[in-house]
Amino acid sequence: MKGYTLIELLVVTTIILVLTLIMLPWAIGRIDVANANKTVAIIREVRRAYSLYRIDTGSNPPWFHLTNENPFLVDPGVAGWRGPYSNERSIPRSHPWKGAIGWDGEGGDCIVGSPPPTCPDRDNNGASDFIIILDDDRPGTAPDNDEGKIHRRALLRMDRALDDGDLSTGSVQGNAEGDFGGMRQTEAGELAIWIF
């Protein structure tokens, strides 16, 4: 019987290992691209649901973050609500990096755990602005959980798809690089999208 020698098996195993190590960074990069694209689609769906909600009710939706119900899916008791405006699959509670998807809106503390408990009003119309938050905290956890941070390269990819590609300017800011003119500081690994 003819078989493989130990040396031949080691050489083949080494070649497979080297090829795997070469391909691993590429594969991880592709996963980040797919996750960023999926998250951009979620953000666009939130924008769509926001528009429908606003048309029906004439106001911004209530604040939605780590622990309360999504007002696009469950009637928050606001006059004119004719939802649901989306579904749990299209607007999940968490993004692909496992942090919460939420927004600052009417009511609640817009800068979680930090005073003042008022929401920004950039256009000075007396109503809180609508800001989508891709949080670094997992849904249902404390505001300092930080287990769902998004990689900077993915944040930049999303910013390029939605805005100007600069995390410190425009209507999309994040990774502690932007603060919307001092109105809302972003944290490392988070993204904020200002809708008004």
Q: Which two tokens stand for residue 128?
A: 């809180």
What residue type is assigned to position 25 of the chain?
A: P
What's the helix, strand, coil split of the chain in %, to 5? 30, 10, 60
Backbone φ and ψ for 187, nearest 5 degrees, come out as -105, 160
Q: Would you list the domain boundaries of the chain?
A: 6-194
Collapsing DSSP states into helix, strand and coil, what is residue 141? Answer: coil
Whole-angstrom distance, CA of residue 135 vs CA of residue 127: 23
- The 10s digit of each residue's pLDDT in 72-106 is 999 989 899 999 999 999 999 999 999 999 887 66
- The 10s digit of each residue's pLDDT in 152-193 is 999 999 999 999 999 999 999 999 998 877 777 888 999 999
Entry pTM: 0.80
Within 10 angstroms of residue 48's Cβ, the number of other Cβ atoms is 15
Go through 144-177 and write b for each residue having 16 or more CB atoms within 10 A of its CB, e for each that does not: ebbebbbeeebbbbbbebbbeeebeebbbbbbee
The mean pLDDT value for 133-156 works out to: 89
